[in-house]
Every structure is written in structure tokens, then in C-alpha cells.
Amino acid sequence: MKLPFAKFLLRWFVCSLGLWIAAGLLSERISYQNELSVIVTAGLLLAAINTVIRPVLVLLSLPAILLSLGLFMVVINGFTVFLASKLYSSLEVTNFWAAMLAGIIIGLVNYLVSAILDTRDE
């Protein structure tokens, strides 16, 4: 998949799917008012944050990432989910720990989708 727009669409889909799964698993901590439009819009916002802001966060926190052997990426993922919830008030995340759990779930969904697409491309 070489087109940047196609990659962004895939990232949007994965973020939306991951948010939906995270909201289902963490229903007492993440609320999307049971509307699919909230998940899709929040997924779009999260994909945009991951495209624009996340690389800057990773670059600035590179020493912490290296010292923690990559575990600090969980904090960065949680921060991006928490930031998306603050920017889009229809997505309600109760606290930063719930955002970190949602970030872990979204990361796992991203890994699974990427693994499926990589095996399909071969």
C-alpha cells in the first residue's frame, strides 16, 4: 500500500476499530454515547493526531523510550487517546489510566491488522 491517502484511511479504520473495541472492553471508563458517528469521528481525530503530533512526541521522548526499552510508547499511546478525548468532547475517557489501556488495545488491533495485511501482501 504505497498511497499516503490509502495509508491514512487504513490508520483511520484501525483507530476507529480499536476505539470501538476499547470502549466495549472498558465500558465503565470510556463512553461514546453508543453512537457510531462518535467512534468514526474520534478515530479520524486520533489518526490525525498519530500522523502529526505523535512523531514529535516520539522524537522528544526518545531518551525515555530508549531507557525503558520501548515501554514509554504505552504512555505516548495513552496520551494521544487522552488528547483526542479532550479535543472531542463526545468521546469521554475518565482518566489517563483508562486512556493508556485504550492505547494498548488500539496498539494490539493495529498490530493484528498490520500482520494480516502483511501476510496477504506476500
pLDDT of residue 114: 85
115: pLDDT confidence band, cut at 50, 70 and 90? Answer: confident
Q: Which helix (H) or strand (E) holds 15?
A: helix 4-25
Q: What is the mean pLDDT of residues 56-67?
A: 96
CA of residue 80 relative to chain centroid, distance: 7
Q: What is the mean pLDDT of residues 37-45?
A: 95
pTM of the model: 0.90
Query: Angle at CA 13, nearest 5°, toward 121 and 78?
Result: 110
SS3 for 15-67, per residue?
A: HHHHHHHHHHHCCCCEECCCCHHHHHHHHHHHHHHHHHCHHHHHHHCHHHHHH
pLDDT of residue 7: 87
Q: What is the mean pLDDT of residues 25-31?
A: 92
> Over the stretch 73-97, which tens digit does the pLDDT of each residue have?
999 999 999 999 999 999 999 999 9
Q: What is the mean pLDDT of residues 109-121?
A: 83
